[in-house]
Amino acid sequence: MKKLLLLTIILAFIACNEEEKITYVILNGSIENNEAENAMIRGNGFEKKIPISETGTFSDTLSISKDGYYQFFVGRERTGIYLEQGTTLSAFVNAKEFDETIKYEGELASENNYLAAKYLNNETSIDYPELFANDESTFVSELKNYNSQLEGLLAENKIVNETFNSLEKQELKYELASLLENFQEYHQYFTKTPDFKASENLYKELKDITYNDTIAFRNSNGYQDLVGTHFSRLVNDALLENDSLSKTLTYLNVVNKNLPNGYAKNSLLTQFLKYGLAPDKHLEEAFSIYKSTSPNQEDLEGITEQYTILQKLTPGKASPTFDYENHKGGKTSLNDLAGKYVYVDVWATWCGPCIREIPSLKEVEADYHGKNIEFVSLSIDAAKDHGKWKSMVTTKELGGIQLMADKDWKSSFPVEYNILGIPRFILIDPEGNIVSADAPRPSDPKLRDLLNDLI
């Protein structure tokens, strides 16, 4: 009887301990010069907005399901953050100098102050255009030197959390591998040599990496980025060999072939199709391949909704219209341009890739001046940036027809064209029908090929 009573007490004690296990994180802090309504934590299937008070303070309890790396957002700024269940962490930052000022206090302060130093180092120590414009051997040498610096930074911080140290060493390995995988595409872009191909020796640096570790995919953001980059590189290689291939179909087929159905495949294909599913002749086949991979129900519903919208944007369908403020005064509509081809550039003053297309757009405009085509640049800047838009059009001497949408991203034209990222280029025929809802960029030689065939 005594033994039975003792066993009951032990089991009760164990049960109490299990019930008392803390599975949440308390995150708080303050933000100077804040303009955002909320901060946000996202990652590992978790997402939560945290309201920011008028004085810039915030605090919340986050019921995360696993320890690891997350993303911490304040407005358009973001940084990596490391969280563990049962801990309290405080973050302090000046929103005007986000990466330079963010500091942490609390049980995970040393881990996260290291991450802040690492990300600041990434921002200030690497000139990415210069790095990727190097020849291959110089690129590899500089990349290894940079990786050694980060390993030294981790050692200098003397973090006692061995779980974090182990994870971070693996992340550094994956981040190095991702940059190697990116070399060919970025070198092409920054040196304007679209036919450049890296040597096979470059990829020997990656001989110890496998790309189908579905467990690592679940547990490591760095590995997720690496696998996505690797498959994108394989697709780009295939397109270099045969530029008539569909990028979307090639990506779907490469991932489908190399990964089993499940979380990793579902994540890669769903994320790709959010931006890569295009209203072209391959739309039906792409959607069919995706459905055959047994995606989870939530993602399937999301891509199905997108597919339904894109069906209305295939070539030959009537284009959504616009009627927006013209920089020169008044308003301009698509109907005002009837009888001409219309090339629409959807952009914003804050969008770096949009700004980089401006010189090429000016060249195309000049070369097709006087021909049966109008060039329309449609800003989706927020209303508060109206003055910035007006000024940039003037100072950069932007040509064509300069318009500003009335409700930024939520304006009818970008919504009906399902625009999720910019720049986005659209070509409409003289009858107001769609030629291409996702036309080549001005910097892409394929745009001139397309226009020469039409005009």
pLDDT, tens digit, 9 for 90 and up, residues 82-91? 999 999 999 9
Domain ranges (residues) in the chain: 21-109, 126-245, 246-314, 323-454
- Report the 3 state secondary structure along the chain: CHHHHHHHHHHHHHHHHHHHCCCCEEEEEEEECCCCCEEEEEECCEEEEEECCCCCEEEEEECCCCCEEEEEEECCEEEEEEECCCCEEEEEEEHHHHHHHCEEEECCHHHHHHHHHHHHHHHHHCCHHHHHHCCHHHHHHHHHHHHHHHHHHHHHCCCCCHHHHHHHHHHHHHHHHHHHHHHHHHHHHHHCCCCCCCCHHHHHCCCCCCCCCHHHHHHCHHHHHHHHHHHHHHHHHHHHHCCCCCHHHHHHHHHHHHCCCCHHHHHHHHHHHHHHCCCCCCHHHHHHHHHHCCCCHHHHHHHHHHHHHHHHHCCCCECCCCEEEECCCCEEECHHHCCCEEEEEEECCCCHHHHHHHHHHHHHHHHCCCCCEEEEEEECCCHHHHHHHHHHHHHCCCCCEEEECCCHHHCHHHHHCCCCCCCEEEEECCCCEEEECCCCCCCCHHHHHHHHHHC
Residue 264 vs residues 152, 297, 415: alpha-carbon distances, Å: 32, 15, 29
Rounded to two decimals, the pTM is 0.75
Res 21: pLDDT: 64
Q: In this model, does residue 15 exceed pLDDT 60?
A: no
pLDDT above 50 (res 179):
yes
- The region of weakest confidence among 25-34, 207-216, 391-400 is 207-216
- Residue 13 has a pLDDT of 44
How much is the mean pLDDT over the chain? Answer: 92
* CATH of the structural domain 21-109, one choice from 3.10.580.10, 1.10.3720.10, 3.40.50.2300, 2.60.40.1120: 2.60.40.1120
Note the pLDDT of residue 225. Answer: 93
- pLDDT at residue number 247: 94
Query: Count of CB atoms within 10 A of residue 43's CB?
Result: 17
Q: Tell me the per-residue pLDDT of 109-162, one tens digit each, with 9 for 90 and over.
A: 999 999 999 999 888 888 999 999 999 999 999 999 999 999 999 999 999 999
Strand partners, 283: none
Percent of the chain with pLDDT over 90: 85
Asked whether residue 5 carries a pLDDT value surpassing 90, the answer given is: no
What is the structure's pLDDT at 22?
77
Is it the case that residue 75 has pLDDT exceeding 70?
yes
Per residue in 346-359, pLDDT (tens digit) is 999 999 999 999 99
Q: Is the pLDDT of residue 17 over 60?
A: no
The pLDDT, as a whole number, for residue 20 is: 57
Non-local (6+) Cβ contacts of 299 within 8 A are: 266, 270
Cis peptide before 353 (omega within 30 of 0): no
Flag whether pLDDT at 2 surpasses 80: no
Residues 131, 38: Cα–Cα separation, whole Å: 35
pLDDT digits (tens, 9 = 90+) for 368-382: 999 999 999 999 999
Q: Which of 175, 167, 254, 250 lies closest to 209, judged by CA?
A: 175
pLDDT score, position 218 = 87
At 396-410, the pLDDT tens digits run 999 999 999 999 999
195 pLDDT tier (thresholds 50, 70, 90): confident
- pLDDT of 275 reads 87
Give me the mean pLDDT over the 163-169 stretch. Answer: 94
- Has residue 96 got a pLDDT over 90? yes
The answer to whether the beta carbons of residues 252 and 265 sit under 8 Å apart is no
For residue range 420-451, what is the model confidence (pLDDT) as tens digits? Answer: 899 999 999 999 999 999 999 999 999 999 99
For the segment 251-264, what is each residue's pLDDT rounded down to a tens digit? 999 999 999 999 99
Could you tell me the fold of the domain covering 323-454? Glutaredoxin (3.40.30)
Give φ, ψ of 183 to 5 degrees. -55, -50
Q: Is the pLDDT of residue 10 over 50?
A: no
